[in-house]
Structure 1
Amino acid sequence: MKPQLPSAVLNLLQPVGDQLADLGRALLTPVDGRAPLMSGARRAWVRWLPYLVAVSAVATLLPVGTVVLADSYGVPGGVAGALALMQSGPLLLAITRPLQAWWVITGGTVLGAVLTVDSPESAGAWPWPVTTLLCYVFLMPALALRERGRTLVAVWLVTLAASIVAADLHQPRAGETAAIAVTVSGAVLLLGWSVRGRGEAQRLLAEQEQISEAERERSTLLEERARIARELHDVVAHHMSVITVQADSAPYRIGGLPPEAVEEFGTIAAAARSSLSEMRRLLGVLRSDGAAPDRAPQPGLAQLGQLVETVGQAGVRAELTVTPEVAALGELPSAVALSAYRIVQEALANVVRHAPGARAEVRLTAVGRTLRVTVENSPGGRPAVEGGEGTGHGLVGMRERVRLLSGRLETGGTPAGGFLVTAELPVTTLGESPR
């Protein structure tokens, strides 16, 4: 028969267990409301990868750090275990709260340096024992992938300042390890920040592609509704107008009509006018999207610089050139400016998708009253990204925009192995499109 704990002991342990459970849930919840690292990945094993790496690191560095501090540096066993836990345990916290984990590990590093300052030189590196340095370096990717750039700079500066102070206290012993800590932590922070910036740039490009695709679908829908409205206006409304005029004028054109016939013609004319009123309301619905007009500003030539910068963060070195002739055109119609922006956006998105690592040049010139948009890229420096075949509607969307403006579009490969997109958008015959 298994021994059972007294109910009084269970009553005392129950609140403790609840508190530990609440603490665990709190530690797994990001402090700033953002999801844990890799939580947005599509594959389940990628989402669990940070937890696996953190658990493996703690399971390895905690016992090894305890042994190193106790045997090599002469720290008492219990203190060595607590210090090793303080230096390695926060790696589990780094998945959701990397900055808070950095504060704990930094405090543990400083405390360890104070406790081992009198250890012999034969003990090893100071103030960065190997296990302490590994814990600190393992934390850097989590910081780089989550925190802002100014925070990363502040973390590195604190590391640099602490290493300088340590080297000043024990130059022969701390100089080399301090240099390693500063160099490695800075390199990992810079690499992680670069990877994060590229990922964010690719996400923004994907969002812009989705917006462009939605606009194309909406434009197609509105064109079809406008065509139906034109047919209703040209055919049905015309005949209804004729019926109204004939019914109103019949008593005057035809003499000797009985009162019943005159009343009947008046009823027909009234019904026709009512139908025309309903037709006008229906045409108003078909010629709009049935909602309040969209007053959000549309992108134009002024936003091309930001677009090129975003593409640069995604790994495509793009340059924008706008010749003085473009400014001489004056304020462009909104349809021309929006089409030029969307054509450049789609062309650069194709470069990112099909020729990553390429160099792209965006050039805007003017010939007379025609705006010429040219996007040329060199061959890609890396294989195309997975799923880079796209939807197949990019060039089709460009041709539709150019055709609506009575312009001209040329696309094709270059002798150097790149790709060239040239669009000519007339300005002379265009006015502001109705909102």
Structure 2
Amino acid sequence: MTSVEEERPRALLAGASRRWVRLLPWAVAFVLSVALLPTTIVVLTADYGLNGGVAGALAVAQAAPLLLAVVRPLQAWYVVFVADVAGALVLLTADFQERLLWPLPPMEIVGYVGLCLALGLRERRRTLLLVWLATAGANVALGFVAPHGSSARDLLFTILGGVALLLGGVLRDRSEVQRRLVEQETISEAERGRRTLLEERARIARELHDVVAHHMSVITVQADTAEYRFDRMPADVREEFTAIAATARESLGEMRRLLGVLRNEEAQGELVPQPGLAQLGPLVEATARARGPVEFTPCDVEVPEAVGLSAYRIVQEALSNVVRHAPGARTQVSLSVSEPGQGEAARLIVLVVNGPSPEPSATPLEVGGTGHGLVGMRERVRIIGGSLDTGPLPAGGFRVAAQLPLTEKDFT
């Protein structure tokens, strides 16, 4: 069943997003068929003097396939082209006035031009060129048997057909370019988000290395100096401390080798000690001096270095977003500890709330945004087992709220 559906041809403009555009080819084909069928019969009989039965047969062969052109324009062209050439030859047997168009009467030219437009929207350039060459070749060949001599107007349907083929081809190419551009933009945005996530993870890994490396260094020093700080240490205990120091040094060396892969020349500034809750005050003051009023409510609580680092980075990114998107907005930064609930430990709550920009006419430093900063926040919170809630406020502004564990056992 699936293979049959895949082979079934799609109607013209079936991929359009709007319903009226998808229905447009059917509506045009229906109107042309209904209008041209009786008109062709009347004109061929009244003006050209053909027999009614012959005129009816030609009208059906020339107008009815226009409905097929919505789905299979090339097959419809085969039928209409043969019918038009046959109609031109039949008209040679009739006695009509010189002022009348030949080889195709006006209503047949209208149908043929509409069919050529459908071909241009569906077929490849090579097919369109062959169709036009066949049209021009038939037009030239019929010109040798023209009942009233050849004239420039006899080439009308070749010229109009070529224009319709060209217009349809241009529209099809333009639609294809736009579709590929949208696909590429979608892929680029997805790749950009993925790259941002990977870069943030690498940055987090570098920062956590600095935190863990400090503890590993302390373990190494304490294990190495244990025999000097404790008198009459048994030999087996001394060997145990020596093994602990050696293992710690080996682990520290492996971490440094890993860090050499994660770091690059652009990350040299990250070699300084990593910030924590104690550095939030200077960060808020610097933002307030440079960009607008910021209220800070600190909290005197001891947290693991990884948690303090994550809290600092979250506040730093949130304040950067305020500066970029709502310059001058009043901002509140607060740290607090939640009350422990039933079965839940107390957590550090980091809250950054900003109002709308005080000047409605103020131009943000960045219009819109990719949301990649929020990706980094969520990644940091996820790694240490916290939660993050972000979103716009009803009265304007934005809110960032993070809940982070207070002890290492809550996220190890």
TM-score (norm 1): 0.52
Structure 1 residues 277 and 83, CA gap change in structure 2 (3 angstroms): farther
Shift of 1:393: 5.2
Could you say what secondary structure the match of 1:121 adopts? coil
Aligned match of 1:92? 67
Shift of 1:226: 2.0
Question: 2:154 is matched by which residue type in structure 1?
Answer: A
Aligned match of 1:121? 96
Shift of 1:143: 0.9
Could you say what secondary structure the match of 2:16 adopts? coil
CA distance in 1, matches of 2:149, 2:60: 25
Contact 2:206-2:262 within 8 A present in 1 as well: no
1:159-238 superposed matches below 5 A? 159-170=135-146, 172=148, 175-238=151-214
Shift of 1:242: 3.9
After superposition, give the CA deviation of every residue in 1:107-161 in whole Å (9 maximum; x if it has no partner).
Answer: 1111212222111132832220222211101111111111111211111111111
Contact 1:117-1:126 within 8 A present in 2 as well: no
CA distance in 1, matches of 2:29, 2:6: 16
Structure 1 residues 171 and 277, CA gap change in structure 2 (3 angstroms): farther
CA distance in 2, matches of 1:222, 1:74: 79
Aligned match of 1:354? none
After superposition, give the CA deviation of every residue in 1:339-360 in whole Å (9 maximum; x if it has no partner).
Answer: xxxxxxxxxxxxxxxxxxxxxx
CA distance in 2, matches of 1:84, 1:248: 103
After superposition, give the CA deviation of every residue in 1:142-195 in whole Å (9 maximum; x if it has no partner).
Answer: 111111112111111111111111112116355344311111111122222222
CA distance in 1, matches of 2:97, 2:89: 17
Indicate whether 1:37 and 2:12 are aligned: yes
1:43-62 superposed matches below 5 A? 43-62=18-37
Shift of 1:203: 2.9
Contact 2:49-2:95 within 8 A present in 1 as well: no
CA distance in 1, matches of 2:158, 2:6: 28
CA distance in 2, matches of 1:80, 1:111: 11
Question: 1:220 is matched by which residue type in structure 2?
Answer: T
CA distance in 1, matches of 2:178, 2:367: 16
Contact 2:12-2:70 within 8 A present in 1 as well: yes
CA distance in 1, matches of 2:257, 2:84: 75
Contact 1:164-1:178 within 8 A present in 2 as well: no
Contact 1:240-1:276 within 8 A present in 2 as well: yes
After superposition, give the CA deviation of every residue in 1:84-116 in whole Å (9 maximum; x if it has no partner).
Answer: 111111111111211111111101111212222
Shift of 1:212: 3.5
1:297-308 superposed matches below 5 A? none
After superposition, give the CA deviation of every residue in 1:403-423 in whole Å (9 maximum; x if it has no partner).
Answer: xxxxxxxxxxxxxxxxxxxxx
Equivalences, count: 266
Structure 1 residues 281 and 128, CA gap change in structure 2 (3 angstroms): farther
Contact 2:114-2:164 within 8 A present in 1 as well: no
Indicate whether 1:104 and 2:104 are aligned: no
1:300-339 superposed matches below 5 A? none
TM-score (norm 2): 0.55
Structure 1 residues 83 and 266, CA gap change in structure 2 (3 angstroms): farther
Residue of 150, 155, 166 corresponding to 2:126: 150
CA distance in 1, matches of 2:149, 2:6: 39
Shift of 1:252: 7.3
Question: 1:168 is matched by which residue type in structure 2?
Answer: F
Spell out structure 1 runs of 4+ moving beyond 6 A. 273-287
CA distance in 1, matches of 2:200, 2:237: 42
Shift of 1:74: 4.0
Structure 1 residues 117 and 207, CA gap change in structure 2 (3 angstroms): same
Contact 2:135-2:158 within 8 A present in 1 as well: yes
CA distance in 2, matches of 1:212, 1:112: 55
Aligned match of 2:109? 133
CA distance in 2, matches of 1:391, 1:209: 18
Question: 1:49 is matched by which residue type in structure 2?
Answer: L
Structure 1 residues 159 and 253, CA gap change in structure 2 (3 angstroms): same
Could you say what the CA RMSD is over the residues aligned between the two structures, in angstroms? Answer: 3.7
Could you say what secondary structure the match of 2:144 adopts? helix
CA distance in 1, matches of 2:43, 2:256: 87
Aligned match of 2:326? none
Shift of 1:30: 8.9
Could you say what secondary structure the match of 1:172 adopts? coil
Residue of 44, 49, 67 corresponding to 1:69: 44
After superposition, give the CA deviation of every residue in 1:272-320 in whole Å (9 maximum; x if it has no partner).
Answer: 5897699789979988xxxxxxxxxxxxxxxxxxxxxxxxxxxxxxxxx
Contact 1:121-1:173 within 8 A present in 2 as well: no
CA distance in 1, matches of 2:160, 2:42: 24
Aligned match of 2:300? none
The 10-residue stretch of structure 1 (178-187 or 238-247) with the greater mean CA deviation from structure 2: 238-247
Instruction: Select the structure of larger CA radius of gyration.
Output: 2
CA distance in 2, matches of 1:30, 1:145: 20
Contact 2:92-2:147 within 8 A present in 1 as well: no
1:410-421 superposed matches below 5 A? none
Shift of 1:213: 2.8
Equivalent pairs: percent with the same residue? 52
Contact 2:58-2:83 within 8 A present in 1 as well: yes
